[in-house]
Structure 1
Amino acid sequence: MKGTGEVGRAQAAEGTSIGRAQAAAGTSQLGRAMKARDAAISGALAGLAGGAAFAGTMAIQGQLATVASIVHTDNVVAGLAVHMVIATILGVGFGLLISRQRARAGETVFWGLIYGAFWWFLGPQTLLPLFLGKPVAWDLAGAQALLPSLMGHLLYGAVSGIAFVVLQQDTDPFWRKPSRGMVLRGLITGLAVGLVLGLPWEGLLAGAGYALIASPESTGPALVRGTVYGFAWWVFAALTVEPLLFTVTLDWSQQAAARDAHLMPAYVLLGAGIAVGYTWLGLLAKVLFTDDIRLVRTEAAGKRGLRALGYGALSGIAGGLVFTVVMLAVGEFPLVAQMIGSRSAVAGFVVHMVIAQILGISYAILFRRRSFDLTSGIGWGLSYGFFWWTLGNLTLLPLFTGTPVDWSAAGIAAGFPSLVGHLAYGAALGAVYHRLERRANPWWQTRSKVVAEQTVARRDQIRGAAPAMWVFTVLIALIIPILVGTGP
């Protein structure tokens, strides 16, 4: 009988443990369901806010009747109703997707931009023609005709992202209100960079805005964030707000965008400069370009720096060789040779490879220990390559060769082959540097500890804005031919 009693008590204890586990699992499932419900509700409201902003621009441009064609009418009120219903539904989807991300303002806004661009490709470019019984036109002329819709979708995504952050701030552990010091830092940096580029007032506003979306990060990721931020400012400030304020009109046509294309490189450099300056001002008491100050104690700075420089130089050579294919195709080596007073293609190749190594070294300094896998390496490299196309090919190369800087639509179009080369260079640079860097595991850490730390860092990067910034950089490269190409 005693044995039977012990067995009974053991079975009862086991049943209690199982019951507690089931209750905990149920509670966890309930918590996830409530979180998803809250995210869906916040997403719907955010979608309404984004849809209202988009609808306002559509009303100004007389495009609501086009939306009404979905329900086979040209009534503007019907078009507005259909548009807001769609915006709300898409907002629910955005809320459910972004609820798995870190809902910091910057991350959410960038994901909103990508979400809006995705639905431009899927909606007006693809589903709407199919729904109306028209052929799908995935060509340059069709994309240029739909450029106003792309701008509107980007506006929808950005506003929806901001609204979602505001709605979720009470329950978001990552939300932090920018301090006065952060805003002041943004204002100072924005004014300084804006004065250099001839955009002082735009720099002030962009600097204050950057303080709202900035995230604790090293200089390299901040540079990429600023580059994308600058392009977004060109769309929303130069192409949208300024025309509405000064002429009370809004023209997002390809012809209008081409007229203002000369401002795009300036805004891209403005955003990049603000991001770098903002980061440096925040690191006055720290060692610049060091991802984790704790690592300085465990490896000599000279050894660490020399190894990074060597990897960067080798990676730059690899990227430069890939870029060489594009430069040979367009015959650009004689132009590069003018930097040293020559017209020889051989001299141009030598100068090109030296520059490729210098940029590779700078990449190693800025993005050390940021490539947790091949995808992130290529992503950072692509973004860095786009930045250097703007600063290098469009700006510094003309200055060094004694030719005027041409930021017009024609000048940007002429530089498009170089953009392809810079993106290829960046992709190869990032991929090779990742492969080299991963071979040098810190000797003072066990393999398991390295893997654990990389897993956490990779998860944080994926859940942050990094993938959105990489994708948006590629999107910018795809948009450029639409902006500067010959209109339909």
Structure 2
Amino acid sequence: MRDAGFGALAGLAGGLVFGTVMARIGFLPTVAGIVRTDSPAMGLAVHLLIAAILGGVFGVLVARQQELLFWGLAYGVLWWFLGPLTLLPILLGEPVAWNVAAARDLVPSLLGHLAYGAATAAALALLAREQRRPGPGLLVRASLAGLLASPLLGLGWSGPVVGVLAGASYAVVFGDPREGSGPVLIRGVAFGFVWWVLAAATLSPLLDGRGLAWSAAAVRTAVAELPAYVLLGAVMALLICWLGGLSRAVFSDDVRDALERRLAAGGRVISLWHGVAAGLTGGALFTGVMVTVGFLPTVASLVGSGSAAVGLVLHLLISQVVGVTYALFFRRRSFDAASGIGWGVSYGLLWWILGNLTLLPVLLGAGPRWSAAELAESFPSLVGHLAYGAALGLVYQRLEARVSPWHLTRSQAAAARATARQEQTLSAAPALWSLVACVALLVPVLVA
């Protein structure tokens, strides 16, 4: 009851934020239609009641979770699918329209649900959690990381300002989580998406005097900045992690830090071979998509050829290289099939943006393919990258599970893996996988 009560109060706070948005976009009369009226005041009352109920459910669901932001965002997206796309039409006596056109018309509601989820998570953290203040060293390190990553945005003088603010907010929200480079990288991808919604889709038009530009057309224009913000978040989070590791290596006298570094080094060669095998498996699966859309000659043009056979060989080589990087980043971070697929799919989305949309066109002498039209054209490649990532993560997890860490017996390794799996379940990792999957599903809607 305590968790539900705090969740209901947090839901009211999130509902007030979302209600302000709904009033501006004129959606409250539609909500009032649930009780057979078109009064905006009644619509706001119904909306706040629903927000409190959903907040109570959220409070119960996340009672044991260590982080709330990504759980709140994933919860908001879930209720966008369940609410305006599904339950609201049914309650209004209208047919459910599960298509891109209907979802595109509800893009303002999608951003509002994201705001609701974030505000509810923040309010619940303030109400029910002990607050941890980041130290000045972490704030400086995170701000420096954001500053170094800011050229990716291409915003001129305002880019460093956004980068510093993004880095400082990362430190305030997450503190200094002691996790590997891979999970940190995916956390940065999701945080970059959050900052795209906040900065590119919301604050930028407000500062330009355009108001709250959450229409489908405005969001389609802003989506050209989404890859830059995703890469900003990924690079920034990775730099924060690495700078923290460097700081501990130089200044820490805790013997546990030295032991952790020695354990991390054990068995790395075997892990790299696992990455090669997993990358080759994912690449073979991805080949079907590339053959279907006729993309292999484009890959072959990297070495001045137009042959599909040369493109296939080059594609499989690249797949193995990406598999090796996955092994470096995610070693001992997937403890079952679900976590392997979760990390793999998330890594596949990152490589769709980094590889297909950025590095490939740059290596071919063009600029990054970040416009809405180019993102829409690259959607088959997104599907292939997600399939590649799923196979990569699953195969790597299965191979890694067959090898016990060098310092543990088989029974000890099983117990350690079970403990780590439980800790990961209580972290933000499942919410990260869910949110990244939602971002991938929303690409056709955002660029429609």
TM-score (norm 1): 0.86
| Equivalent residue, structure 2, for 1:130 | 90
Farther off after superposition, 238-247 or 93-102: 238-247
1:180 aligns with 2:140: no
**Is 1:163 aligned to 2:123, yes or no?**
yes
* Matched letter for residue 451 of structure 1: A
* 2:114 is the alignment partner of 1:149: no
- In structure 2, the CA distance between the partners of 1:349 and 1:293, relative to structure 1 (3 Å rule), is farther
Q: Give the distance between the partners of 1:398 and 1:474, measured in 2 at CA.
A: 25
Secondary structure of the equivalent of 1:371? coil
Distance in 2 of aligned mates of 1:101 and 1:54: 24
Residue in structure 1 matching 2:44, options 57, 80, 95? 80
- Equivalent position of 1:89 in the other structure: 53
Judge which range, 244-253 or 114-123, deviates more: 244-253
Query: In structure 1, what is the equivalent of residue 235 of structure 2?
Result: 273
Q: 1:327 to 1:207 in 2, by over 3 A?
A: same
Query: Alpha-carbon deviations, 1:80-104, whole Å to 9, x = none?
Result: 11111111111111111110212xx
- Alpha-carbon distance between aligned partners in 2 of 1:116 and 1:352, rounded to the nearest angstrom: 37
Contact 1:61 1:251 in 2 (8 A): no
Residues 449-481 of structure 1 deviation map (CA, whole Å, 9 limit, x = unaligned): 212211111011011110111111110111000
Q: How does 1:58-77 map to 2 (within 5 A)?
A: 58-77=22-41
In structure 2, distance between residues paired with 1:274 and 1:80: 39
The equivalent residue for 2:253 is: none
Q: CA deviation at 1:401?
A: 1.2
- Structure 2: 5+ residue runs without aligned partners? 251-255
Q: Distance between the aligned counterparts of 1:253 and 1:383, measured in 2?
A: 28
Q: Which one of 216, 227, 241 corresponds to residue 203 of structure 2?
A: 241
Deviates more, 1:360-369 or 1:188-197: 188-197
Structure 2 partner of 1:323: 286
Give the aligned partner of residue 461 of structure 1: 424
Alpha-carbon distance in 1 for matches of 2:62, 2:210:
35
* 2:156 equivalent to 1:191: no
Task: State the secondary structure of the residue aligned to 1:283.
Answer: helix
Q: Equivalent residue of 2:332, what SS?
A: coil
The residue number in structure 2 matching 1:413 is 376
Which letter does structure 1 place at the counterpart of 2:259?
R
Which residue of structure 2 lines up, in the alignment, with residue 210 of structure 1? 170
| Rg (Cα) greater in structure | 1
Superposition map of 1:23-62 within 5 A: 37-62=1-26
Q: 1:124 to 1:415 in 2, by over 3 A?
A: same
* Aligned: 1:332 with 2:295: yes
- SS of 1:260's equivalent in the other structure is helix
Which residue of the partner structure matches residue 321 of structure 2?
A: 358
Would the alpha carbon gap of residues 317 and 397 (structure 1) be closer, same or farther in structure 2, given more than 3 Å must change?
A: same
Q: Distance in 2 between matches of 1:292 and 1:79?
A: 55
Question: Would you say 1:117 and 2:73 are equivalent positions?
Answer: no
2:413 aligned residue: 450
**What residue number does 1:14 align with?**
none
Name which of 262, 275, 300 aligns with 1:312: 275
- SS in structure 2 of the partner of residue 250 of structure 1: coil
**Which amino acid in 2 is paired with 1:438?**
A
Structure 2 counterpart of 1:294: 259
C-alpha separation in 1, matches of 2:406 and 2:350: 34
Distance 2:437 2:367 in 1: 28
Runs of 4+ in structure 1 displaced over 3 angstroms?
285-288, 295-299
- Identify the residue that residue 351 of structure 2 maps to in structure 1: 388
For residue 478 of structure 1, what is the aligned residue in structure 2? 441
Which string of whole-angstrom CA distances, capped at 9 and with x for unpartnered residues, describes residues 173-220 of structure 1? xx5221122121111111111134322222111111111233321110
Question: What is the CA-CA distance between 1:255 and the residue it aligns to?
Answer: 1.3
Contact 2:145 2:167 in 1 (8 A): yes
Q: 1:347 aligns with which of 302, 307, 310?
A: 310
- Counterpart residue type for residue 355 of structure 1: I
Contact in 2 for aligned 1:225/1:272 (Cα 8 Å) = yes
Partner Cα separation in structure 1 for residue 262 and residue 110 of structure 2:
50
- Aligned partner of 1:101 in structure 2 is 65
| Alignment match of 1:255 (pick from 196, 199, 217) | 217
One-letter code of the match for 1:258? R
* CA distance in 2: counterparts of 1:245 and 1:470, whole angstroms: 33
Partner secondary structure for residue 68 of structure 2: helix
The Cα shift of 1:312 comes to 0.6
CA shift at 1:292, angstroms? Answer: 7.8
